[in-house]
A = this chain, B = another copy of it.
Amino acid sequence: MNNMEYFKELLKNKGLKMTTQRGLILESLSENPKMHLTAEEIYEIVCKKQPEIGIATVYRTLKLLTELGLIDTLDMDDGFVHYELAENDRDGHHHHHLICMSCGKILEFKEDLMEALEDKIEMTTGFKIYDHKVKMYGYCKECRTKQSEK
């Protein structure tokens, strides 16, 4: 089952309704993977197909999608909340974000490798972990190459 069908099913189960706007907002995220779009950017993308949409609908739908677990939020310290499709991983574990401090680019790293740390935390503190968000700050390959050329 794809995202859209799953979205419809979740809505039905909750007595909520599928609308053109909701579909287009989820679609804008599906069709722009790795883009970490902001609400405003999503609004602009949807506007191309549905110019009458209001920004309030975008915010309401993004909140709904987040609550349903279909999308994740990402804070990049730039004053905007960024959104991306959630990965339906086996156990809620998703990719890490690598933020380049030189060019601002965001890369993704698939492998999790957090189990050892999570086990240690659970054993030591009794805190049971269900999800995590990891941001790495550094310099990407391209910026490092450019730098060393100078």
Query: Chain A residues in contact with chain B, CB under 8 A?
Result: 73, 75, 77, 96, 98, 100-101, 107, 109, 111, 113-114, 116-118, 120-121, 124-141, 144
Using Cβ atoms and an 8 Å threshold, which residues of chain B touch A141? Answer: 125-127
Q: Which of B73, B116, B125, B133 contacts A113 (CB 8 A)?
A: B116
CA distance A75 to B141 in the complex (A): 27
**A114: min CB distance to chain B, Å:** 7
Known contacts A75-B77, A133-B135; is-contact A98 B113 (Cβ 8 Å)? no
Known contacts A133-B134, A138-B131; is-contact A121 B101 (Cβ 8 Å)? no
Using Cβ atoms and an 8 Å threshold, which residues of chain B touch A107? Answer: 125, 127
**A60: min CB distance to chain B, Å:** 16
